[in-house]
Every structure is written in C-alpha cells, then in structure tokens.
Amino acid sequence: MTVLDLGCGAGVPCTQLLASQPNIHVTGCDISSTQLALAAEKLPAGKVKLIQSDMMNLEFADSTFDVVVAFYSIIHVPRGEQPILLKRIGKWLKPGGWFLSNFLAEGEDTVVEQKWLGEEKGWMFWSGWSPDRSAAMVEETGLELRINEATGTVERDALNAGIITVPHLWVLAQKSEEEQ
Ligand SMILES: C[S@@+](CC[C@H](N)C(=O)[O-])C[C@H]1O[C@@H](n2cnc3c(N)ncnc32)[C@H](O)[C@@H]1O
C-alpha cells in the first residue's frame, strides 16, 4: 500500500506509525529541511521516501497513492490554493483510495502569530475556509465524504503552561472505485 504524508514534519508519531507497518510504503513531504532532518533520524532507513518541497509544487502521476494524509499541514497553505491542491490529491489517489486531513474550524483568510508557542522566531501562518466550504471543496474534487466532523485537538499552551483544546474540521473521504 502506498501512502503520501503531506507536511509530515518530524514524522512522529504519524509517519513513524505508518512506516512501522510491513505492507505500507510511505512518501513524506515537508517544506522544512529541519523537520525532514529530524524525520530522517527517526524513521526506518529505506522505508520512507522523504521529499523536501512545498506541497503545492509536488507532481505525481495519476493514481499513484492508495492513501493521502495531511495532518495539521494544509491549514498552513493559503486557502486560495487549497482547492487546487485538493484537486491534485484527487488525481494522485487510486480508485478506491482514501484522503484524511484536517482544516480550520472557522473560515479565516489569514491568521498570523509572530511568536507562536512563545518562540522568538515563531512566525506562524494559518488559513482556511468555513467547515461547510472546506467539506464542499473536498467533494468538488470528486471524493466522497465519509467523515466530516469538527472535533478538538488537545495541545500544549506554551504561553500559559496549560492545556488547550483547538477545534478542527476532520475529513475522511474516498475516491470512487470506478475510473473517472
Ligand atoms: C503542525 S506541523 C504537523 C506535522 C505532522 N503532520 C504532525 O502531525 O505531527 C505542520 C507541518 O507542515 C509543514 N508545512 C507547512 N506548509 C507546508 C507546505 N506548503 N508544504 C509542505 N509542508 C508544509 C511544516 O513545515 C510542518 O512540518
């Protein structure tokens, strides 16, 4: 089984978990060379193909992957580019393939924090459509929505040294078994 992990980051735990399965071949993409260097240390050599690229610049043949996942990464792509990316993902998937990702729970063209997690060099950018628009964007690629659910992710709140719950829209969608 072939899996594309978009914005795989340091690969822990998701890419690592995928790569631990004997029948899964993972391709991980991230824009950050620092994150990919960490991933290369932690992931089994030869089991994962790592690509340093903006996910918007990726090119694959149609029907390359059984699964495409993007955990907390498409939310960093400007929302005007997200429908273009989703259409490409739809083509990269094999018939019957699966797409799992999350989107912002509220539509925001641009959210910027200068010192995310209190870091001096912590510039961070998020973008997304309303949950309804994001769900429609997935369906417009021809994928069928199987799960479309707003749910919270528990995160460390570095500024207040506490725990916060951040809502996201989670989407699981499947490409039709029949060739389009
Ligand atoms: C919040 S982290 C999530 C990492 C990993 N998916 C996880 O769940 O632990 C977001 C990742 O997306 C990457 N990223 C952001 N924009 C990207 C882009 N346009 N293309 C590829 N990767 C991107 C970042 O470098 C970062 O590693």
Taking only the tens place, the pLDDT of each residue in 34-72 is 999 999 999 988 889 999 999 999 999 999 999 999 999
Q: Averaged over 124-143, what is the pLDDT?
A: 95
Residue 153 contacts residue 165 (beta carbons within 8 Å): yes
In this prediction the pTM is 0.95
C-alpha 51 to ligand 1 mean position (Å): 12
Q: Are 39 and 50 in contact (CB under 8 A)?
A: yes
Ligand 1 atom closest to residue 32's alpha carbon, by position in its atom list = 25
| Stretch (H or E) spanning 140 | helix 131-140
pLDDT at 128: 96
Task: Using DSSP bridges, classify how beta strands 65-70 and 2-6 pair: parallel, antiparallel or unpaired.
Answer: parallel
User: What is the reported pLDDT for 158?
Assistant: 67
Angle between helices 82-92 and 131-140 (to 10 degrees): 40
Domain definitions of the chain by residue range: 2-104+130-153+168-175
pLDDT at 161 over 80: no
Nearest ligand 1 atom, CA 35: 27
Structural fold of domain 2-104+130-153+168-175: Rossmann fold (3.40.50)
